[in-house]
Structure 1
Amino acid sequence: MTITALDSAALSRRALFRGGSLLAAGAALSGLPFGRALLAHDVSEAWPNVAAMANRYVSERKVANMFLTFGWGRESHAHTVGGGTLSLARPTPVDEDSLFRIYSMSKPITGMATMILIDEGRLALDQPLHDILPAFRDMQVLVDPEGPLEDTVAAERPITIRQLLTHTAGLGYQIINKGPLLDAYNQAGLVGGRVSRMPIPGFPPVTPAPGLAAFADRLAELPLIHQPATKWSYSCSIDLLGRVIEVASGMAFEAFLRQRIFEPCGMTSTWMQVPQSEAARLTDNYGIIAGNAFPIDPGVNSIFLDPPEVPAGGGGLVSSPRDYDRFLRMLLGYGTIDRVRVMGQEAVRVGTSDLLPATVDTTGSWMEGQGHGAGGRAVGQSFGWGGAAGTLAAVDYGLKLRSTLFTQYMPSEAYPVRDEFLAAMEADMVAMRAKKAA
């Protein structure tokens, strides 16, 4: 089964970091002298409120695991808080090498892959998409996003790479569309990720398009829901960028990610398809119904052990806390990690900044009062995104802090984890600042 309403519109409504309040709480914390205590791998004592939140969710069996990482600056390893097990039924503890479905946390990775090609001159930020994929030259736009597919007007401007990176191209999404366009996306197999081998009541099965090229071609045949560069609307644009990357680079999308990001970053546990030899590390994913957790994708028989029909840059990756922290450390190092140059410094600076077109109206959207960079939210000096199964990751350049939260349940708004995490982290950082001032 593919991602549908399980990845609902509420997933990303909350800011990853309430930039102003956290910066006020954490000013100058990057230089805080933790002493030898910080050398310990588990740093629950330094983050007592975060640890209490994670331990409560696990001890009450609301989730099988809640594992968080915090890394300051370019230090070579992140420190951990929380824990749990791979499954409510399996006693194996989670650690930094356990595997989690990161879903939309794939988006910043695809965004940075795009920035690499922009930095190399093989793409341009404001280049028309039809230069790369000619089928998108003459797009139509629905008069009513929920209305008949025949009731359209011509697009007033071309879709650009910037718009794809920032969800402002006017494209739809299987998890956002309604009415005839949703039916058309389902019939065309325009899905953004996978959930389970098992049928889930209320969600009809959808056969994904046979590959990225077919995904892009079928998408080009359907109308947009908004005029390009006018509104922010969560979309399949990052999935489409996978095909753009293929054409611009001359490499298969997955191969490009591996060669240009995963291998130089030392990310050895990030895949679209988890090798069978690594299945024992894969967590179970749960559906939350009336406060109870039911397994919808057991790790030992996960759909992510199969090759994906469409390698979805917007929601298709499985990764580990160690790997994703390495990606964040590369971003915090402005493109370098362990003295290896992965991306150009300017490519990272631009990619993690607010790239929203000036003509875009964010009123009433998840981005109101915020910014959006290359595949992730940009607020103040922070950049990051979350995933449909409850995961969260961000870098904060002001605090020189990189952080992740890993758990596995859907839909993520079933529990107020994001709000509780932000409140707990803020409380702990206030205490750290007070301790430093004492």
Structure 2
Amino acid sequence: MTNLRDILDQHVSNGPVPGAVGLVARGDRIEVEAVGSVDVDGSSPMARDSIFRIASITKPVTAAAVMMLVEDGLIALDDPVDRWLPELASPTVLRTPAGPVDDVVPAARAITVVDLLTFRAGYGFPSDFSLPVIQLLFSELRQGPPQPQHVTAPDEWMATLSRIPLLHQPGDVWLYNTCSDILGVLIARVSGRPLPEFLAERLFEPLGMVDTGFAVPAAKLDRFTSYYRPVPEGGIELVDTPDGGWSSLPAFPSGAGGLVSTVDDWHSFARMLLAEGAVDGRRLLSARSVRQMTTDHLTRSQREASGLFTEGQGWGFGGSVDVAAIDPWNVPGRYGWVGGTGTAAHITASTGAVAILLSQLAMAGPTPPALMRDFWRYAAQA
């Protein structure tokens, strides 16, 4: 009978994944396996507490932090964000998505907090990366694969963003990624604290997420994995070493994909969501906020237009929501997301299930690789 170790080992032993850690849990029954090594040299075996760049599974954490501010009464979901982000006070919108970046019209309405949470603010990636305005997201904002030491500080980043038009009118279309980075800046400005400090105090410390943050301290670098990406001619190449881009705090802490973490740390966050916001008798979020996070907010046409990114899934706050059993691993109501560095994390409230996969090989594109799909299939049956 196939087990979790078999699933992971199949992809590590046969290449190209150097190593991986997987966690599948239902209630108190937890299965964790670590296979392979932290780098291609095989210098250290992968371990349960190995630290990974988790990329876009940062997004649900950022969304949870925003909901804390909502519950604090400091912001509301329907609030226009220009009170805290004046750079977005007068956005312009491309007349046509494929048009030149200077052919714009005024936005029909203000961008709201919920627009950002649902990725419908007008900023972000469509399926077509060749559009002129999308090239500005890559070149001017360093959107795309995480580059923590190459992104400007939040105020400068927002000033640059203000000069880039929206691809669509606020509320109309789901677009990927950029909204979570904007939310990171919003959290800092509303709370009056840097994003790393706010997350540490309100989420990481209460949940015991001791290895989660925007950088890895020197004392923990021996547990930090190297990071690779596939190359067109076959094989993989090194992108970042433990003493590289995540060895010091970045100027721009990315709410879209900047965190490092472990399977047990993200599991602590997942358990909080499954418990509808409570942990060890302490409530971090209300049940209502958790339900809002994990409920699909897209229209059918918005889901269909999301293309390769969500493969027809819905979107809650900071993560996708399965709306139908499209594939063997899809369970209606499953919430979570994937990270471009080779990570994935999901919860299913109806079954109390958690499935977390961390690897250090970047995805080649929006379509999840075979390792993820095999892992999800196993988790759905476990």
The TM-score normalised by the length of structure 1 is 0.78
**Which residue matches 2:295?**
353
> Is the contact made by 1:196 and 1:296 (CA closer than 8 Å) also made in structure 2?
no
> Is the contact made by 1:69 and 1:78 (CA closer than 8 Å) also made in structure 2?
yes
Matches within 5 A, 1:89-128: 89-128=41-80
In 1, Cα distance between the equivalents of 2:3 and 2:144? 35
Aligned length: 368
Instruction: Tell me whether 1:136 sits opposite 2:88 in the alignment.
Output: yes
Change (3 A) 1:315 1:56: same
Instruction: Tell me whether 1:364 sits opposite 2:305 in the alignment.
Output: yes
Instruction: Tell me whether 1:297 sits opposite 2:249 in the alignment.
Output: no
CA shift, 1:174, in A, is: 11
* Aligned pair partner of 1:424 in 374, 378, 382: 378
CA shift, 1:318, in A, is: 0.6
**Which residue matches 1:408?**
360
**Which residue matches 1:71?**
25
CA shift, 1:187, in A, is: 5.0
Instruction: Tell me whether 1:208 sits opposite 2:151 in the alignment.
Output: yes
In 2, Cα distance between the equivalents of 1:369 and 1:186? 25
Instruction: Tell me whether 1:51 sits opposite 2:5 in the alignment.
Output: yes
> Is the contact made by 1:254 and 1:311 (CA closer than 8 Å) also made in structure 2?
yes
Instruction: Tell me whether 1:185 sits opposite 2:137 in the alignment.
Output: yes
The TM-score normalised by the length of structure 2 is 0.89
Change (3 A) 1:288 1:195: farther
In 1, Cα distance between the equivalents of 2:148 and 2:89? 36
User: SS of the counterpart of 2:336?
Assistant: strand
User: SS of the counterpart of 1:385?
Assistant: strand
> Is the contact made by 1:389 and 1:412 (CA closer than 8 Å) also made in structure 2?
no
**Which residue matches 1:39?**
none
Instruction: Tell me whether 1:252 sits opposite 2:194 in the alignment.
Output: yes
Partner amino acid for 2:26? W
Partner amino acid for 2:285? M
Change (3 A) 1:323 1:247: same
Change (3 A) 1:187 1:378: closer
> Is the contact made by 2:274 and 2:352 (CA closer than 8 Å) also made in structure 1?
yes
In 2, Cα distance between the equivalents of 1:260 and 1:267? 11
> Is the contact made by 1:103 and 1:389 (CA closer than 8 Å) also made in structure 2?
yes
> Is the contact made by 1:72 and 1:78 (CA closer than 8 Å) also made in structure 2?
yes
Aligned-residue CA RMSD in angstroms?
2.4
> Is the contact made by 1:57 and 1:66 (CA closer than 8 Å) also made in structure 2?
no
In 2, Cα distance between the equivalents of 1:255 and 1:362? 34
Change (3 A) 1:158 1:190: farther
Using the TM superposition, name which of 290-299 and 107-116 deviates more: 290-299
Change (3 A) 1:185 1:369: closer
Partner amino acid for 1:238? S
CA shift, 1:369, in A, is: 4.5
Partner amino acid for 2:169? Q
Instruction: Tell me whether 1:282 sits opposite 2:224 in the alignment.
Output: yes
Pick 1 or 2: higher relative contact order, CA cutoff 8 A, min separation 6.
Answer: 1
In 2, Cα distance between the equivalents of 1:371 and 1:158? 24
Partner amino acid for 2:13? S
**Which residue matches 2:335?**
383
Using the TM superposition, name which of 155-164 and 365-374 deviates more: 365-374
Partner amino acid for 2:72? E
Identity in percent: 31
Partner amino acid for 1:120? D
Instruction: Tell me whether 1:374 sits opposite 2:326 in the alignment.
Output: no
Specify the structure having the higher radius of gyration (Cα): 1
Q: Which runs of 5+ in 1 are unaligned?
A: 1-44, 198-206, 430-438
In 1, Cα distance between the equivalents of 2:210 and 2:34? 23
Q: Which runs of 5+ in 2 are unaligned?
A: 323-331
Partner amino acid for 2:70? I
CA shift, 1:415, in A, is: 3.8
